[in-house]
Structure 1
Amino acid sequence: MARTANPFRPGFNAAPPAFVGRDRLLDAVREALAVAALDGRTPRPIVITGTRGVGKTVALGEAAVLAATDHGWPTVHVEVRPGRDFTPLLTERIVAAGHLLQHTTADDRRHPVVTGGRIGASALGVGGEVEVHLERREPGPADPLEAALRGTMRVAMAEGAGLVLTLDEVQYAQRAELAGLTAILQEHMADGWPLVVLVAGLPSIREPRRTVTYLERGEWHELGLLTRDEAEQALREPAADAGRPLEPDATRELATASGGYPYAVQLYGHHAWRASAGSDRILREHAVAALGAARRELEEGLYVARWNDASEREREYLGAVARVLARTGEATGGAVAAELGKAATEVSYLRDRLIKKGTLYTEGPRLLFITPGMAEWVAGR
């Protein structure tokens, strides 16, 4: 039997076939693009926060798709790396985008994201690529990043076009370097550059010592877990589109197991598709078989990674949360502190750290593990 492509994509940074539950963010992107393209103003930056696996990088990609398909604008994308300056790479790609704008038409630009000298279009499924040859020049006295932005914006405005700039993993950026970029952006707000800026990072970028004024005044969007209906939609639509629909009870089984965590939704859907090979539908028995396979993968991957990322004191706190959940079904900060024999104020910093890391999250007064099944795994250690 010929293999049928699995529509679910559990890899990080992999765009899911159904990007659900993020309508408010996508509407904000459309509005920012309209402000820049039609109103002649530079919109406020859009800042996306959330724990790992909730779709921040995917959201940046969706913004690039909207810019290309709706306006013919390219996107310059840079992922910040720990301990490395991002400004030189950003400068180079902004210059490349200026060449692209100068030497292509709007129709040609219905695809590209500038990630290097060669600009690929495969991410949007249209094929082809544009090769940009940059002329090496000696840097002038002006700041290279500002000069690159000035030049590219001048070309964009002459061509009746614009640019989207996306900066990912911004929690790794040095504050001084980030402040340098935002100072340039703030200085030129009055120039009406057709420039839409989106940055994404972990919740820690909200900390006063990490953020900068320009971003504080941006439009903030925190991505969290999907609702039950959204999780079911994210499972149901790709399976149906790929020709192997999910039975309702199978959908419910998988959505419940996922806990609404977007990465887990894709992982459970992936294993249910594999378990149903040879069938024309995904049945509950396939979903049940998928639970064990997905759980093993979570145990060997995310659970271990997040446990290893925790300090000894944080592990003690996680163990207390897991024990309280196992015993009572509900954990609060006070109950966890009592389990540790401490006052709540003595261990609240551990709670806050683990929330910022994305290992725990709050639902009202309740404390929960964001990765489904991790509480049981920690309790069993």
Structure 2
Amino acid sequence: MARSENPFRPGFNSPPPAFVGRERLLGAVREALAVAALDGRTPRPIVITGTRGVGKTVALGEAAALAATEHAWPTVHVEVRPGRDLTPLLTERIVAAGHLLEHTTADDRRHPVITGGKIGASALGVGGEVEVHLERPGSGAADPLEAALRATMHTAMEEGAGLVVTLDEVQYAQRAELAGFTAVLQERMGDNWPLVVLVAGLPSIREPRRTVTYLERGEWHELGLLTRDEAEQALREPAADAGRPMDADAARELAAASGGYPYAVQLYGHHAWRASSGSDHIALEHALAARTAARRELEEGLYVARWNDASEREREYLTAAARLIVRRGEATGGAVAAELGKAATEVSYLRDRLLKKGTLYSEGARLVFITPGMAEWVAGL
């Protein structure tokens, strides 16, 4: 059987073939780039929040791609990790960006994202990678990060270019480090640097004790679930582009099963493609087979992981919510409290915790499990 590449990518942090339902965010990125590149002003930072699996990291990648293709600007990207200092990494990569801007032309910079000591040499038009040898700013510098930013932005302005900085998983950042970085940005606003900053993290970054003043004044975008039409589009477009179109009833079935959760859309699409191997299209029968396979994968993966991540009290709340959804078709905070025999104020902290963790998602007053099918699974425990 001939090899046919599956266009669907259900791995976290894997860019989908069709970036659907995020037009407002992409418009904001384009506007920020235009403000920095054409208006000569430093735009407000863009802050992206949402639970896991809704496309925050993908959105940062799309911003980097827009900067490279439309303006020939490089992007410095740092994924914040628990127990790892942000400032030294960010400083080193900003210095690397300065080297790139100084030693390449605009045509060379149509692709690079700087994530370490090496820059992919496809950006430079040659094979392999080019090692960027850096000297860390000396200990005598009052603020190495500020010095690195100042030098790199000076180079960028001399070259008629700019820079994008993207920070992912900022909920793990030490508040002091984040405050230090944003303090530099705030102090230098009057210098009109061609600099666009985007940060992404879980909804908890909106908590007053976690965020910093500069980001509070940013442009906030919360990524949620896709609409049914958007989910169908995210299924049908990649399949058609890959040469195996998906029937309308198959797309409707998978979009409904996915609940609009972007990760699940990719997972269901992946299994539908696999089930239709050897066929010239994806039919309803393939979608039904995909639903079974994807549900099994979700049960063994996300359901168990999110259940194990919940405390005993949170599990009680989840169980009450799940039983209401199975029995009545929906759950609200007030109904869950009544199911538990409590006043809503007594258990509101559990609701808030589960929303911040991304196990539950609010649609107005309604509470839904972000991972499709999990309500039925929890109710059956």
Q: How much does 1:64 deviate?
A: 0.2
Q: Deviations over 1:246-288 (max 9, x none)?
A: 0111011100100100000000000000000000000000000
- 3-state SS of 2:108 partner: coil
Q: Is the 8 A contact 2:138 2:144 kept in 1?
A: no
Tell me the residue number matched to 2:341. Answer: 341
Q: Superposed, which structure 2 residues align to 1:187-226 within 5 Å?
A: 187-226=187-226
- 3-state SS of 2:164 partner: strand
Q: How much does 1:136 deviate?
A: 5.1
Q: Distance in 2 between matches of 1:136 and 1:223?
A: 37
Q: How much does 1:192 deviate?
A: 0.4
- 3-state SS of 1:16 partner: coil
Q: Is the 8 A contact 1:77 1:167 kept in 2?
A: yes
Instruction: Look up the equivalent residue of 2:302 and give its one-letter code.
Output: L
- 3-state SS of 1:236 partner: helix
**Does structure 1 residue 316 correspond to structure 2 residue 316?**
yes
Q: Distance in 1 between matches of 2:298 and 2:189?
A: 45
- 3-state SS of 1:108 partner: helix
Paired residue total? 380
Tell me the residue number matched to 2:91. Answer: 91
Q: Superposed, which structure 2 residues align to 1:1-381 within 5 Å?
A: 1-120=1-120, 129-135=129-135, 138-381=138-381
Q: Is the 8 A contact 2:261 2:372 kept in 1?
A: yes
Q: How much does 1:158 deviate?
A: 0.6
Q: Deviations over 1:45-81 (max 9, x none)?
A: 0000000000000000000000000010000000000
Q: Which moved more, 1:253-262 or 1:326-335?
A: 326-335
Change (3 A) 1:8 1:173: same
- 3-state SS of 1:138 partner: coil
Q: Is the 8 A contact 2:82 2:173 kept in 1?
A: yes
- 3-state SS of 1:361 partner: strand
- 3-state SS of 1:5 partner: coil
Change (3 A) 1:160 1:317: same
| Structure 1 unaligned regions, length at least 5 | none
Change (3 A) 1:122 1:47: farther
Q: Percent identity?
A: 87
Q: Distance in 2 between matches of 1:127 and 1:341?
A: 66
- 3-state SS of 2:109 partner: coil
Q: Which moved more, 1:130-139 or 1:49-58?
A: 130-139
Q: How much does 1:344 deviate?
A: 0.9
Q: Deviations over 1:278-329 (max 9, x none)?
A: 0000000000000011001111111111111111100110000011111111
Q: Is the 8 A contact 1:77 1:114 kept in 2?
A: yes
Q: Distance in 1 between matches of 2:140 and 2:55?
A: 39
- 3-state SS of 1:237 partner: helix
Q: Distance in 1 between matches of 2:226 and 2:258?
A: 10
Instruction: Look up the equivalent residue of 1:242 and give its one-letter code.
Output: A
- 3-state SS of 1:62 partner: helix
Change (3 A) 1:313 1:204: same
Q: How much does 1:105 deviate?
A: 0.3
Q: Deviations over 1:206-228 (max 9, x none)?
A: 01111110000000000000011
Instruction: Look up the equivalent residue of 1:64 and give its one-letter code.
Output: A
Scaled by the length of structure 2, what TM-score is found? 0.97
Q: Is the 8 A contact 2:92 2:136 kept in 1?
A: no
Q: How much does 1:170 deviate?
A: 0.3
Q: How much does 1:126 deviate?
A: 10
Q: How much does 1:187 deviate?
A: 0.3
Could you say what the CA RMSD is over the residues aligned between the two structures, in angstroms? 1.5
Q: How much does 1:135 deviate?
A: 3.8
Q: Is the 8 A contact 1:113 1:121 kept in 2?
A: no
Q: How much does 1:358 deviate?
A: 0.8
Q: Distance in 2 between matches of 1:108 and 1:131?
A: 16
Q: How much does 1:129 deviate?
A: 4.3
Q: Is the 8 A contact 1:111 1:121 kept in 2?
A: no
Q: Is the 8 A contact 1:111 1:126 kept in 2?
A: no
Q: Distance in 2 between matches of 1:59 and 1:297?
A: 25
| Structure 2 unaligned regions, length at least 5 | none
Q: How much does 1:176 deviate?
A: 1.2
Change (3 A) 1:357 1:25: same
Q: Distance in 2 between matches of 1:172 and 1:185?
A: 20
Q: How much does 1:131 deviate?
A: 3.2
Q: How much does 1:141 deviate?
A: 2.7
Change (3 A) 1:175 1:66: same
Q: Distance in 2 between matches of 1:197 and 1:22?
A: 18
Change (3 A) 1:343 1:137: closer
Q: Is the 8 A contact 1:244 1:282 kept in 2?
A: yes
